[in-house]
Every structure is written in C-alpha cells, then in structure tokens.
Amino acid sequence: MSFKKSDELKITEPKKVAVGFPAIASVGYRIWEETYVGRGVKTMFKLNQVKGYDCPSCAWPDPDPSERSLIAEYCENGAKAVAWEASKETIGAEFFAENSIKELLTKSNYWLEKQGRLNSPMYLPQGGTHYQTVTWEKAFEIAAHELNKLNDPDEAIFYTSGRASNEAAFCYQLFVRQFGTNNLPDCSNMCHEATGVALSETTGIGKASVKLDDISQTDLLLIFGQNPGTNAPRMLTELQKLKQNGGKIIAVNPMPETGFMGFKHPQKPWEWVGDGTPLQDLYLQVKINGDLALVKAILVLLYRKQKIDASIFDEAFISKHSTGYSEFLAQLANADYDDLVQQSGIAVAEIEKAAAYIIDAKKIIIAWAMGITQHTNGEDTIREFVNLLLVKGSIAKPGAGTLPVRGHSNVQGDRTMGIWEKSPESFLSSLEKAFDFKAPREHGVTAVEAVEHLVAKKSKVFVGLGGNFVHAAPDTSLVEQAMNDADFTMHIATKLNRSHVVHGKSALILPCLGRTEIDETSKGKQFITTEDTAGRVRMSMGDLTPVAPNLKSEVAIVCGIAAATLKEKQKCLGIIFQ
Ligand code: SF4
C-alpha cells in the first residue's frame, strides 16, 4: 500500500462553526457521486422516517414522529452512509476475475469499498488466487462443510458488527448456540463494554437511563470523551434546543470540538449567516484519561461545600435510592485534591466553575463515548459519573441521568438479542426452553481473545456478520496474521473491505441486502428492527429495488448457513430460510 508524500497535507485553522449550508452541499455531492440522483433523493426522503428505514450510520435516536422533520431527518453522515449503500456500482465475477487477491491487498480500504456493492456469493478455494462466484446453495454447503469438520464448536468464532439488525442478530446467536459455542464477540467488546459493566453494576441497566427528549429538558449536560459533531451530528440539534431552554453544557475532551463552538442548523437558513449557536458554556481540555481525576476533584469540592451547606447533596434521594454512601464520603474525605487536580490537567478555577454549574443544576445528564470507555479505567470513571448523578439526585427522573452515546446503529440491539460471549444464565435457560436445545454454558471469547485464539490456532474459523474486523480490532498486523492463519473465513457484507482480502486458507463473501433495499420473501415484504442509544426499538423497512437480483437479507443468509450446517439438529431456523 503506498501513501502520497506529506506535501499533500493541507493544514488549515480549525473551523469554528459546524454544519449549516456546507453540510447540505456535501450531502448533494455525495448523492451525485455515489448513486443515481433519483434513487439518492428517494433514499433521503425515507431516511429515519416512521415508514422508512433506520439510518445505518450511528445509533442516535429519532425524535417522536410528531417532532420529526418530514423533509430531512438525517445528518451529513447519515446521508453519506445511505448514498454509499445505494451505490450505482456492483462487483462480482468480472471484477474478481480481473483483480487477484495479491492486487487487492495493495489497495486501500477506501478503494475496496468504493468499487461498489457485492452482487454474488464469492468463494476463494484453498490455494486460489482469485475469488470466484458460487451459487447460494453451494456457498451454504461450503460453510457447513468447514464448520462441521471442526473438532470442537469452540474452534469457530462468530463476530458481529453493530449494524446487524435485531432479527439477524437473534437468528445468528440462536444458530451459534445450537452449533455449540458462545464464541460471539462483537464490536461492543471494543467500544462500550466498560459502560455495560459499570452501569449494570451501579444503576442496574447497562444502557442509557434517559430518553431523547430528556436532553433538551435538562439543566446541565456534561459531555465526556465524545464528539457529537463528528460521531452523532443530529445530537447538535438537541443541544441547541437545550440551550434555547436555558440549559448549560460542559464539554470535557482533550480535543476542542467545532460543533460545540458554533452550530448552524442545516434546516434553518436564517442561521447560516453569522457564528451559529455556541453550545458549550465551559470547555475543559482535560489531559488524556484525566476525566476520572477531574470528576473525583469535582466531587471532593462538592463534598467540602456540602459540609458547610447540607443542601448540596440530595441526601433524601441518596438515602432512598442508593447504598454505600458512607464509604463514598470516606473516600472523598481521604482524597488528595491537589493530586487529582494535577492528574486532570484542569486549572482549579475551571474546576470550581464546573462545580458551581453542578451545584446550581437540579437536573443533570452525563454523556460519554469512547474517549472514556477505551481506557483501562473506563469502568471506574463511569462509576464516578453515577456517583455524581446520585449525590445530586439526578437519575431516573425527567431531564436527568446517564447517556452513553453508542456508535454503530444497532450495537445495543445486538446485545439485547443475545450477541454476547458472556450471556447470563437467565438468557441461556430461556433460550433453551423456547427452542428446546441444550445451550453451551462456558463463556466465549471477546474480540481481543478471538485474535489470540486464532493466532494460537485454538480457533480455526472466523465468521463475520458485517463489519471490517481487521480494521476495527487493535493491532492490525497481528489481526491480519490471525486471519491468514485461519482455515476458513466467511463474511456477510454489502461491500468489499480489507477483512475479505486478508482471508483464511479458504474464504467466502456473502452479499446481503442493504437496509434501504426491499426484502421480499414468500411471506411478503419484510422489515427489520433496531434499538437506538436511548433504548428505543424502531421498525426499518427498505423501499429501494435491490442493487442486484442475487442478494439475500442477513436473516436469510444466517438461516441458510444454519440449515445447511445443523441440518436436522437445527431448531426453528430452517423455517425462515424457505
Ligand atoms: S445522527 Fe447518526 S443516526 Fe442520525 S442521521 Fe446522523 S449518522 Fe444517522
């Protein structure tokens, strides 16, 4: 892979305003570049609409139907994602005959994905130099052969990317557990795992406790290690409403974020002139991973003030709804404030300003993302977030609570459906009862352990339900070696990516329908469901003619593999396949 020399890099002053007309222009350009304009415009009108499809780009919630924009209920990222999916290009037999694996390995991931949608099942036999087309029947047969020749089901790894629908995820975990393993790592292992652990332990629910409309109702929103303008741009709309309702925002991030400095609503042309709405009231440029020390320092300050004014902490709420308060106070009493300040990298005056905002606020929401969860102490930081909300009595009431902002559009739904290598006994025993089979109990591997198992040859098969594992997992060269060491790799995908050309001794790529496309079966038009970052489940129904006639839905592909692999052993998966 060759990179052009750095003299191509243009370094400019960081922008001070986000979105506005440039976002609209970018959407228009993307539609023109990626798909047929008619198809593209039709796609946009259905995006995030009630009778339309859920955006495949991130998990930001949609407003209530009555609040939704009928013109454009999406952001630039969402528009790019569906225009990219609605691509006018497809690749199949001809493309792979012209491009050997060796040649494809020299291409960037951007180039691979840019070639267009996969239009046929592709198989790379052992020792082969080019992928070749196979029928679906043959593809399922190959998959079944590779899986059934394993000595132990734990020699196979079944990875899920957070874009898979609830229905595909449920069928996948049911198949995998009927196959006999809990090796169900997913992208959550690499993003919000710390959130799930810390919140389940502290609030009893491993997800957000707030709904979308709580955000604009809060007095104070603290956002740690998350950058809405880039990762969940529609969040900026809610932050603007929060400001218009008199709320305050504290942004905590080693990197300043343009969206917090100035936001121009794309659907309000009168806002396109001028500096936009400044969203952050206080920006704390914390040291990398200084968030835990910062929250602890703020708590120590509040504790000192509580000793003078007993109304700082909501002790009525604390005594009614929490445990461990005295131990918590003892920790604060013994904390080394100066050391915490030093670790946070924030000046005392700024910390005092933040504490003052917190004291004045009755309703507080704390939001975070991977700037918190991808640190080894991520769980501890999230526990302190919950402590801060508890002392302020700011959980489980309107305008108050936790808001972990998820990335992938259905990463939360997949976990709810059982995509977890450590699913609890309650889930496994209900599954057994419902589908009359013996579910494995031994915990499976996480995404990182999956790489270790492949390198150690403890696992020989890697299956990917969506995603681009070699790019998502840490330590790319080790992951690529792990893939090459595998006996067989199989991916269900819409477009070609690096994980398909860094393959096992033999490999399959199975092209699936996109979320924007019609999925018609003998039972009529199908829809899927997804779960957003606020825990709400929505229906998503494609309405575009599939970009190629030989595509199948994720659900049909999973069930096809299951029926071929489990044969008479399978329970309930065959029905869907017919
Ligand atoms: S905020 Fe996220 S879900 Fe919403 S349109 Fe943008 S990318 Fe899609």
Bridge-based pairing state of the strands 18-19 and 263-264: parallel
Does the C-beta of 60 come closer than 6 Å to ligand 1? yes
Tell me the best of 74, 212, 235 to mutate to test the pocket of ligand 1, counting ligand atoms within 8 Å of each CB and taking the most: 74
Residue percentage of the chain with pLDDT more than 70: 97
234 CA → ligand 1 middle, Å:
6
Burial of 221 per CB tally in 10 Å (0-12, 13-18, 19+): buried
Whole-angstrom distance, CA of residue 508 vs CA of residue 135: 11
405 CA → ligand 1 middle, Å:
12
Report yes or no: 181 and 363 within 8 Å, Cβ to Cβ. no
Report yes or no: 563 and 577 within 8 Å, Cβ to Cβ. yes
Q: Which residue intervals of 275-407 are DSSP H helices? A: 291-308, 315-321, 325-334, 337-344, 348-360, 370-373, 378-391
Q: According to the model, what pLDDT value does residue 3 have?
A: 45
Taking CA atoms only, the protein residue closest to ligand 1 atom 8 is 78
Atom of ligand 1 nearest to the CA of 54: 3
Q: Terminal CA-to-CA distance of the chain, rounded, Å?
A: 43
Q: According to the model, what pLDDT value does residue 461 have?
A: 98
Strand partners, 404: 368
Report yes or no: 297 and 310 within 8 Å, Cβ to Cβ. no
Domain with CATH 3.40.228.10 in the chain: 193-404
Domain with CATH 3.40.50.740 in the chain: 103-191+410-573
Q: What is the mean pLDDT of residues 456-477?
A: 96
Flag whether pLDDT at 207 surpasses 80.
Answer: yes
pLDDT in tens, 264-307: 999 899 999 888 999 999 999 999 999 999 999 999 999 999 99
Q: If you search the block for the tokens 């069928």, which residue do you land on? A: 171
94 CA → ligand 1 middle, Å:
35
Does the C-beta of 232 come closer than 6 Å to ligand 1? yes
Flag whether pLDDT at 409 surpasses 60.
Answer: yes
Mean pLDDT of the chain: 94
Bridge-based pairing state of the strands 132-133 and 461-465: unpaired
Token pair listed for 236 = 């900026």
pTM given for the model: 0.94
Count other Cβ atoms within 10 Å, centred on residue 39.
Answer: 18
DSSP-derived letter for residue 15 is P
223 CA → ligand 1 middle, Å:
18
Does the C-beta of 52 come closer than 6 Å to ligand 1? no
Which residue would you say has higher pLDDT here, 400 or 38?
Answer: 400
Flag whether pLDDT at 104 surpasses 60.
Answer: yes
pLDDT in tens, 515-573: 999 999 999 999 999 999 999 999 999 999 999 999 999 999 999 999 999 986 665 55
50 CA → ligand 1 middle, Å:
15
Atom of ligand 1 nearest to the CA of 232: 1
233 CA → ligand 1 middle, Å:
6
Lowest mean pLDDT segment, chosen from 10-14, 212-216, 310-314, 445-449: 10-14
Atom of ligand 1 nearest to the CA of 59: 3
Flag whether pLDDT at 315 surpasses 80.
Answer: yes
Whole-angstrom distance, CA of residue 146 vs CA of residue 132: 18
pLDDT in tens, 8-29: 778 888 889 999 999 999 999 9
Q: According to the model, what pLDDT value does residue 32 have?
A: 86
Whole-angstrom distance, CA of residue 129 vs CA of residue 121: 16
Does the C-beta of 57 come closer than 6 Å to ligand 1? yes
388 CA → ligand 1 middle, Å:
29
Does the C-beta of 405 come closer than 6 Å to ligand 1? no
Token pair listed for 181 = 């393993």
Whole-angstrom distance, CA of residue 445 vs CA of residue 499: 19
Atom of ligand 1 nearest to the CA of 74: 5
pLDDT in tens, 125-160: 999 999 999 999 999 999 999 999 999 999 999 999
DSSP-derived letter for residue 258 is H
* Residue range 193-404, CATH number: 3.40.228.10
Bridge-based pairing state of the strands 524-525 and 528-531: unpaired
476 CA → ligand 1 middle, Å:
28
Q: According to the model, what pLDDT value does residue 570 have?
A: 60
Does the C-beta of 58 come closer than 6 Å to ligand 1? yes
Atom of ligand 1 nearest to the CA of 47: 5
Does the C-beta of 234 come closer than 6 Å to ligand 1? yes
Does the C-beta of 77 come closer than 6 Å to ligand 1? yes
62 CA → ligand 1 middle, Å:
9
Q: According to the model, what pLDDT value does residue 578 have?
A: 47
**CATH number assigned to the domain with residue range 103-191+410-573, chosen from the 4 options 2.102.10.10, 3.40.630.20, 3.40.50.740, 3.40.50.620:** 3.40.50.740
Atom of ligand 1 nearest to the CA of 56: 8
Q: According to the model, what pLDDT value does residue 1 have?
A: 38
Q: According to the model, what pLDDT value does residue 414 have?
A: 98
Tell me the best of 82, 234, 410, 411 to mutate to test the pocket of ligand 1, counting ligand atoms within 8 Å of each CB and taking the most: 234
Q: According to the model, what pLDDT value does residue 7 have?
A: 59
Query: Which residues, including other chains, have CB under 8 Å from residue 480's CB and lie 6 or more apart?
Result: 470, 502
